[in-house]
């Protein structure tokens, strides 16, 4: 490999070492065993590395670091501590998880204090305000640096097909915090090609020298050690992520990626980077970390195929119990918090976070309903997360992670179910209108009677995700994508019989009453929608609705169709783009897919 800076014991490139020049740095304790003392309610509990169980090493995809994992528990206390020092640097990470499947009663913890030591040296003292069941947090002596080439990640399908603003060289712009005299920053960049051939570094991570000295000297306080520089994350906070996930409406944290992730991917904006990393840490606050303490990794459905934590389904084998927290998880409105941060840093904590999220999604459904979902958007976001974790999971993993074969099995099961129940279904809402919505379940509304409608805007989420899944390299999903995007094309091409002035309606009426026959053509569906939902237009080729957000979803699906060679999508993509431009509609960064804008 050319252009690779060999990493020294600190795990930092030569440029970063030259910038440090700290006399006290070399004296920092690099040896000694780790210890964490947790004090709660006047009692102290001591977790020690040497008394723990070694769960094996994680080696990053690029080979830049290898990280140990030692699990430590104490008798009659539900907290589990994972000591994770690097083998080839002095970086230290300690993870605190609450929640067990088989050996504890669900209960949140109140405020407690943690003191972390290495050998005789105290590294930090942290005040934890509270800790939710199945939530976690970590202390790290130093954040992982950015090691990703965004252009290559997109080229290999790992990121959505955004149009990037570059510096002219095709590389990501350097990250600048503010103009300060030379020497006030530490450059933590790593330069070089990845051994996998899929990634290469093109980033730069700058940190204030005082902050870096504090983090690496072992004298740092809780605030310095627990925040990503410039963000608002702290233990058990959410850094802007919606606590009540069922909340509807366009939100910055919902989409193929989050808004901050999209902004960083497209512009290399430093503020967006700080926010996306902060929200990745905040993912630990979400109570979806269901670990099998018998096998040490995320809950394994090969071992327990009939397990569930679906509310009210206590007949699961086992049924995994939880308790109330301030956070309501909902797969139909679920953000993707950890995948992009993992690609940027190769941080195993984020990979593990992604596995926990995908695990929770699977177990949150009743056994007989897997791997389906009641709504297209639920299927979209579940598929997004499952495809992401399958794409980046390693073939051979330590005990605290699940391997690629496990996730690929889940993804294959989901594809086969999807094809049977949607792609090859004889139901007219599937066969003709390509909708994943369930017509019989639609509740009654003023302009949409019960059991008469589907919602195409949710189908656009699913079509877009399916396009990305194919672009990731899962070519066996292409029939599912072509099936789904067929509905998008019919509603936007102006020749199917559907009037594209209403290309992405909130409700599409497919029969006049729940007991009436379903429409047999797009033209008939339009007449029903026009009559029942009272739609009108002046020009069939000019978008009518004032909120064009729904049209941006259609455009996302069409962008993937064109990218994947679907010729029939080209004119609809031009039309949707033209409508958005003519109205001066500002797209959210996460939906600026393709290069036509």
| Alpha-helix runs per DSSP H in 393-521 | 404-418, 428-431, 456-472, 478-492
d(CA 135, CA 95): 11
Alpha-carbon separation of residue 320 from 285, 293, 392, 460, 464 (angstroms): 19, 13, 27, 33, 33
Residue found under tokens 């925040």? 227
Q: Residue 578 — very low, low, confident or very high, per pLDDT cuts 50/70/90?
A: very high
Tokens of 280: 């990745």
d(CA 93, CA 124): 12
Instruction: State mean pLDDT over 11-33.
Output: 36
Q: Residue 170 — very low, low, confident or very high, per pLDDT cuts 50/70/90?
A: very low
Q: Residue 276 — very low, low, confident or very high, per pLDDT cuts 50/70/90?
A: very high
Instruction: State mean pLDDT over 216-229.
Output: 36
d(CA 564, CA 372): 26
Contacts with 285 (C-beta within 8 Å, 6 or more apart), sequence order:
132, 135, 137, 235, 236, 237, 238, 327
pLDDT at 366: 86
Q: Does residue 265 carry a pLDDT above 80?
A: yes
pLDDT at 372: 76
Contact 203, 148 (CB under 8 A): yes
Contact 509, 452 (CB under 8 A): yes
Q: Are strands 53-54 and 508-509 parallel, antiparallel or unpaired?
A: unpaired
Specify the higher pLDDT residue, 594 or 181. 594
d(CA 435, CA 421): 11
| Alpha-helix runs per DSSP H in 364-403 | 376-392
Of 345, 343, 359, the residue nearest 402 (C-alpha):
359
**Three-class secondary structure of residue 34 per DSSP:** strand
pLDDT at 314: 62
Q: What angle do CA 84, 88, 91 make, to 5 degrees?
A: 45
Q: Give the burial class of 211: count Cβ atoms within 10 A of its Cβ; 0-12 exposed, 13-18 middle, 19 or more buried.
A: middle
Q: Does residue 190 carry a pLDDT above 50?
A: no
Residue found under tokens 């009453």? 513
d(CA 273, CA 284): 18
Instruction: State mean pLDDT over 348-375.
Output: 91
Tokens of 15: 């440029």
Residue 301's φ and ψ, nearest 5 degrees, are: -80, -5
| Alpha-helix runs per DSSP H in 283-439 | 339-345, 348-363, 376-392, 404-418, 428-431
Which of 143-152, 328-337, 524-533, 587-596 bottoms out in mean pLDDT, i.e. has the lowest? 587-596
Q: Residue 210 — very low, low, confident or very high, per pLDDT cuts 50/70/90?
A: very low
Q: Does residue 289 carry a pLDDT above 50?
A: yes
d(CA 327, CA 243): 5
Q: Residue 206 — very low, low, confident or very high, per pLDDT cuts 50/70/90?
A: very low
pLDDT at 231: 54
Tokens of 148: 């990703």
Contact 383, 422 (CB under 8 A): no
Residue 116's φ and ψ, nearest 5 degrees, are: -105, 130
Q: Residue 3 — very low, low, confident or very high, per pLDDT cuts 50/70/90?
A: very low
Tokens of 258: 């989050």
- Residue 305 exposure: Cα atoms within 13 Å on the Cβ side: 6
d(CA 128, CA 125): 10
Specify the higher pLDDT residue, 359 or 249. 359
Count of other CB atoms within 10 angstroms of residue 424: 12
Instruction: State mean pLDDT over 527-546.
Output: 95
Instruction: State mean pLDDT over 472-479.
Output: 97
d(CA 138, CA 124): 12
Q: Does residue 266 carry a pLDDT above 80?
A: yes
pLDDT at 215: 36
- Spell out the domain ranges in the chain: 25-140, 286-591
Q: Which residues of 36-64 are buried (b: 16+ CB within 10 A; e: fewer)?
A: bbbebeeeebebbbeebeebeebbbbbeb
Percent of the chain with pLDDT strictly greater than 70: 83
Percent of the chain with pLDDT strictly greater than 90: 75
pLDDT at 104: 83
Reported as a single tens digit per residue, the pLDDT across 56-80 is: 999 999 999 999 999 999 999 999 9
d(CA 161, CA 141): 35
pLDDT at 185: 35
Q: Does residue 229 carry a pLDDT above 60?
A: no
Residue 571 parent element (H or E): helix 570-582
3-class secondary structure per residue, 253-281: CCCCCCHHHHHHHHHCCHHHHHHHHHHHH
The average confidence (pLDDT) of the chain is: 84
pLDDT at 195: 26
Q: What is the CATH number of domain 286-591?
A: 1.50.10
Contact 320, 265 (CB under 8 A): no
Residue found under tokens 């959210």? 588
Instruction: State mean pLDDT over 207-219.
Output: 37
d(CA 402, CA 296): 10
Specify the higher pLDDT residue, 586 or 518. 518
Residue 300 parent element (H or E): none
Of 156, 153, 169, the residue nearest 344 (C-alpha):
153
Distance spanning both ends of the chain, measured CA to CA: 37
Q: Residue 20 — very low, low, confident or very high, per pLDDT cuts 50/70/90?
A: very low
Which of 185-194, 363-372, 426-435, 490-499 bottoms out in mean pLDDT, i.e. has the lowest? 185-194
Beta bridge partners, 508, equal 454
Residue 282's φ and ψ, nearest 5 degrees, are: -65, -20
Beta bridge partners, 257, equal none
DSSP state of 45: E
């Amino acid at each position: 490999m050319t252009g690779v800076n060999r990493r020294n014991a600190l795990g930092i490139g030569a440029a970063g070492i030259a910038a440090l020049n700290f006399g006290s740095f070399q004296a920092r304790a690099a040896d000694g065993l780790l210890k964490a003392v947790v004090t709660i309610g006047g009692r102290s509990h001591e977790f020690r590395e040497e008394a723990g169980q070694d769960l094996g090493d994680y080696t990053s995809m690029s080979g830049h670091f290898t990280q140990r994992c030692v699990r430590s528990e104490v008798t009659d206390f539900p907290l589990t501590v994972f000591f994770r020092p690097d083998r080839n640097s002095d970086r230290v990470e300690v993870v605190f998880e609450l929640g067990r499947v088989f050996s504890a009663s669900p209960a949140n913890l109140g405020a407690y204090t943690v003191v972390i030591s290495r050998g005789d040296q105290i590294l930090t003292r942290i005040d934890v305000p509270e800790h939710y069941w199945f939530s976690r947090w970590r202390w790290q002596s130093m954040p992982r640096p950015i090691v990703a080439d965004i252009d290559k990640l997109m080229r290999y399908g790992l990121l959505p097909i955004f149009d990037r603003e570059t510096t002219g060289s095709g590389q990501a712009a350097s990250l600048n915090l503010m103009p300060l005299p030379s020497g006030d920053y530490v450059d933590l960049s790593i330069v070089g090609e990845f051994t996998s051939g899929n990634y290469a570094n093109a980033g730069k991570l700058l940190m204030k020298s005082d902050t870096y000295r504090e983090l690496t000297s072992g004298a740092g306080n809780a605030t310095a050690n627990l925040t990503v520089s410039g963000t608002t994350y702290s233990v058990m906070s959410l850094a802007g992520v919606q606590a009540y996930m069922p909340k509807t409406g366009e939100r910055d944290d919902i989409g193929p990626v989050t808004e901050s992730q999209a902004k960083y991917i497209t512009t290399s904006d430093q503020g967006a980077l700080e926010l996306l990393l902060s929200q990745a840490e905040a993912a630990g606050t979400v109570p979806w970390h269901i670990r099998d303490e018998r096998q040490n990794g995320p809950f394994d459905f090969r071992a327990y195929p009939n397990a569930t934590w679906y509310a009210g389904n206590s007949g699961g084998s086992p049924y995994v119990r939880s308790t109330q927290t301030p956070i309501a998880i909902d797969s139909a409105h679920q953000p993707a918090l950890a995948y992009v941060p993992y690609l940027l840093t190769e941080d195993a904590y984020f990979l593990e976070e992604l596995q926990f999220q995908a695990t929770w999604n699977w177990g949150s459904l009743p056994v007989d309903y897997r791997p389906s979902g009641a709504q297209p958007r639920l299927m979209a976001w579940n598929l997004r997360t499952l495809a992401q974790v399958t794409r980046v999971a390693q073939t051979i993993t330590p005990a605290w992670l699940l391997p690629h074969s496990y996730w690929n099995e889940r993804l294959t099961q989901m594809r086969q179910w999807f094809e049977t129940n949607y792609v090859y279904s004889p139901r007219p809402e599937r066969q003709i209108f390509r909708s994943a919505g369930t017509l019989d379940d639609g509740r009654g509304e003023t302009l949409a009677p019960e059991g008469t409608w589907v919602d195409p805007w949710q189908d656009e989420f699913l079509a877009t995700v399916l396009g990305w899944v194919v672009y990731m390299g899962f070519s066996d999903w292409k029939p599912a994508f072509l099936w789904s995007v067929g509905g998008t094309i019919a509603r936007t091409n102006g020749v199917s019989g559907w009037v594209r002035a209403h290309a992405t309606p909130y409700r599409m009426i497919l029969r006049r009453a729940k007991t009436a026959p379903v429409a047999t053509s797009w033209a008939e569906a339009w007449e029903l929608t026009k009559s029942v939902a009272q739609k009108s237009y002046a020009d069939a080729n000019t978008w009518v609705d004032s909120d064009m957000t729904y049209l941006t979803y259609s455009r996302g699906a069409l962008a993937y169709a064109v990218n994947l060679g679907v010729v029939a999508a080209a004119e609809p993509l031009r039309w949707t783009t033209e409508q958005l431009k003519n109205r001066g509609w500002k797209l959210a960064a996460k939906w600026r897919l393709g290069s036509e804008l």
